[in-house]
Amino acid sequence: MVSSPDSGDEIGASYRPVRKRTRTGCIQCRSRRRKCDGARPRCRGCEVRGQVCRWGLKASFHPSRAISLSRCEAASLREVEEGRGRSSSRHQQFVDETNIIIDGYSTPDHPSCGPHLPAQDESSPSHVSRPPSQPISGELSIADLFTQRNLPASDIPASPSGNHDLPPLIQSQQFHSVSGPTATDTQTHLYPFLLGQARSKDATPQPVPQFPVTDGEKFQLISAFIRETGTWCETTDSQMHFTVKSIHEMMKSSSFVAAALSLASRQLDYVLMRQRPVTLELYQFTIQLLLGQDPVRADTSILATCTLLCVYEMMASRVEEWRRHLKGCAGFLRAQRWNGSSEGIVKASFWAFARIDVWAAFNSGKATLIPTESWVDNMCIDYVLANGDLDDYCNLAILIFAKIVNILSTSQQSRREMRAAGLKASICTLWNEMQRWYQLRPSEVCPLLRDFPPTKVFPEALYIRSAPNCGNTFYHSGCMLLLQTGLVTQGPEHLYASFKEETGNIIWHARELVGISISNPSHANWVNQLQPLFIAGTVFGSSVASPSVRDTLSVSPGDAPSAAENHDFDEFCSEKILLLKHLARIERETGWKTSDRAAELRMLWGFV
């Protein structure tokens, strides 16, 4: 059979290589979808528009020519992954025995305990009851000890099994003192954990239960608290009330000692990668002491105790857990009319609470529990400068950052309405307020030394005290959030008088923040820098290096750009590798969980 003359051509055509699409032109023209003449070092289009002409790596879609990490970078990434794998054994399971403890305190004279607890809302998945013997993942929620005390017993259904769950959220209620009525106006506020829930009217105070640890273990844990975990609450407390100035007075409170022991024990468990039931026993013992606390005698030691319990939960629990516990502290602070202008350990506790509150609000997309207007008595920068208190000045950066989080927490629809009604003006006001804080910094708030050699990926900045470290961290974090709105780069000159080329560069802020964290191995600041480092990581993962108009006003993981949106080159590969290694170091040395945020960054960057 003779083949047709065209058959050979058809066979040859089937083996011809398929021409694949290539990408040419500079980065600016490609991002604007404009034709580029390819002239180097500056194309005609960038020259006409007055832009900097940048060129990336040559794009290729062939697997053998795909851009990948170098061997050194890949080895570094594997080292981080192996470290995560070794730490996977830290996941703990505990038995929830809180109901047993509460039932043990039930008395006929106290209607809010025992069989008269309000029933759970069965429609809420977070309120599902657990039998006391059922293992649970993670830790107990101290918010499970909040109850309603003003409901009549007849209106509260009983559980068929006899076990009653406590509602996890604080309800609007009138505080009822078990020791008799008082004439103070604090009765309309909430106290944390409903102090005195286990006390009967006119009952003789019960002796303090025995601690579930030996004297030797207590000595070791208190030593660890003073050296490590207690300093976490003193980031902007130069007088060090938790570990030095007020520690002798606080040690007279059994509940404070128990909270300090539980926090130190949990931190050591994570650092040493071990599981000890005594950690949860100490936590439950602290709750047991708070249940027997006389509400009328609730003092500063109770506030410090609640603050330590919030830090305990923040170490490795979900953001929903922090926020539920923070509500108790917020109610106590407002009931006593304490704020960031108070003195002593109250002031230290408030700002430790405020730092947790602002990051809980940031992660959950909600506003802070205490309005920023009542954080301090006078928030004027000039007033704080005149007083000369370094801690107060650094705390102002936290306050301004909280205002930014509150504005960005509004819903998408509200933001559209606000855009026409002054959102841009609000963003502008906060930007200028943040830049004014930066420009008027006292010399003690500036770094002692700063260097950015060409061989370094991040700048080096040395701070002597932890408060300036914290203040500058919140400054750079706030600037990045404001720049990501896209509303700072444009506008009348008089509105943006403080806008400069350096401070207006979002990459500069990201590098400065990471450089501050790496250059200053302060564990007290490291545990407060997880979320700022995450914000910087999202900036390195953005497809646009310079600030531009963006629709999103937040930097939550769901709003961050995906790896598919990035260019086919990785301009910040070294920054990403070093940031992941630094996050792993923070978790390894402090026990503060950073792996979740690191995993989100790896997914964002395409490191999967």
Question: In this predicted structure, what is the pLDDT of residue 33?
Answer: 81
- Residue of 153 and 106 predicted with greater confidence: 106
Question: In this predicted structure, what is the pLDDT of residue 107?
Answer: 46
Report if residue 529 sits inside a domain: yes
C-alpha gyration radius of the chain: 28
Question: In this predicted structure, what is the pLDDT of residue 127?
Answer: 38
How far is the C-alpha of 387 from the C-alpha of 379, rounded, in Å?
Answer: 12
Question: In this predicted structure, what is the pLDDT of residue 599?
Answer: 94
Question: In this predicted structure, what is the pLDDT of residue 491?
Answer: 45
* Residue range 306-349, pLDDT digits in tens: 999 999 999 878 888 888 778 888 988 998 999 999 999 999 99
**What mean pLDDT do residues 431-455 have?**
94
- Residue of 380 and 410 predicted with greater confidence: 380
Question: In this predicted structure, what is the pLDDT of residue 312?
Answer: 94
Question: In this predicted structure, what is the pLDDT of residue 410?
Answer: 72
Q: Is the pLDDT of residue 594 over 90?
A: yes
* Residue range 61-105, pLDDT digits in tens: 555 555 566 777 777 777 777 766 665 555 555 556 656 655 555
Question: In this predicted structure, what is the pLDDT of residue 68?
Answer: 63
- Residue of 606 and 390 predicted with greater confidence: 390
Question: In this predicted structure, what is the pLDDT of residue 217?
Answer: 95
Q: For 206-227, give the secondary structure using H, E and C.
A: CCCCCCCCCHHHHHHHHHHHHH
Is 519 within 8 Å of 448 (Cβ atoms)? no
Is 273 within 8 Å of 89 (Cβ atoms)? yes
Question: In this predicted structure, what is the pLDDT of residue 495?
Answer: 46
* Residue range 272-299, pLDDT digits in tens: 999 899 999 999 999 989 888 777 777 8
Question: What is the chain's length?
Answer: 608
pLDDT averaged over every residue in the chain: 75
* Residue range 216-226, pLDDT digits in tens: 999 999 999 99
What value, to the nearest 5°, has the Cα angle with vertex 75 and ends 558 and 572? 45
**What mean pLDDT do residues 117-127 have?**
38
- DSSP secondary structure code for residue 19 in this structure: P
Report if residue 499 sits inside a domain: yes
**What mean pLDDT do residues 155-164 have?**
34
Q: Is the pLDDT of residue 350 over 60?
A: yes
Is 232 within 8 Å of 311 (Cβ atoms)? yes
Please report which confidence band the pLDDT of residue 575 belongs to, taking 50, 70 and 90 as the band edges: very high
Q: Is the pLDDT of residue 608 over 50?
A: yes
Question: In this predicted structure, what is the pLDDT of residue 185?
Answer: 36
Other residues' Cβ atoms within 10 Å of the Cβ of residue 460? 16
* Residue range 218-267, pLDDT digits in tens: 999 999 999 999 999 999 999 999 999 999 999 999 999 999 999 999 99
Which structural domain, as residue segments, surrounds residue 422?
378-608
Question: In this predicted structure, what is the pLDDT of residue 539?
Answer: 95
Cα-to-chain-centroid distance, residue 58: 39
How many domains, in total, are found in the chain?
1
Q: Is the pLDDT of residue 151 over 50?
A: no
Is 164 within 8 Å of 119 (Cβ atoms)? yes
- Residue of 89 and 518 predicted with greater confidence: 518
Please report which confidence band the pLDDT of residue 457 belongs to, taking 50, 70 and 90 as the band edges: very high
Other residues' Cβ atoms within 10 Å of the Cβ of residue 31? 14
Report if residue 349 sits inside a domain: no
Report if residue 423 sits inside a domain: yes
Burial of 24 (0-12, 13-18, 19+ CB in 10 A): exposed
How far is the C-alpha of 61 from the C-alpha of 83, rounded, in Å?
Answer: 33
Question: In this predicted structure, what is the pLDDT of residue 533?
Answer: 98
Q: Is the pLDDT of residue 564 over 50?
A: no
How far is the C-alpha of 512 from the C-alpha of 57, rounded, in Å?
Answer: 26
Please report which confidence band the pLDDT of residue 143 belongs to, taking 50, 70 and 90 as the band edges: very low
Cα dihedral 563, 567, 571, 576, rounded to 10, equals 0
Please report which confidence band the pLDDT of residue 153 belongs to, taking 50, 70 and 90 as the band edges: very low
Report if residue 19 sits inside a domain: no
**pLDDT > 70 fraction of the chain, expressed in percent and rounded:** 65
Question: In this predicted structure, what is the pLDDT of residue 489?
Answer: 57
* Residue range 384-407, pLDDT digits in tens: 999 999 999 999 999 999 999 999
Q: Is the pLDDT of residue 544 over 80?
A: no
Please report which confidence band the pLDDT of residue 421 belongs to, taking 50, 70 and 90 as the band edges: low
Give the highest mean pLDDT range of 125-139, 178-192, 282-296. Answer: 282-296
Please report which confidence band the pLDDT of residue 123 belongs to, taking 50, 70 and 90 as the band edges: very low
How far is the C-alpha of 557 from the C-alpha of 161, rounded, in Å?
Answer: 41
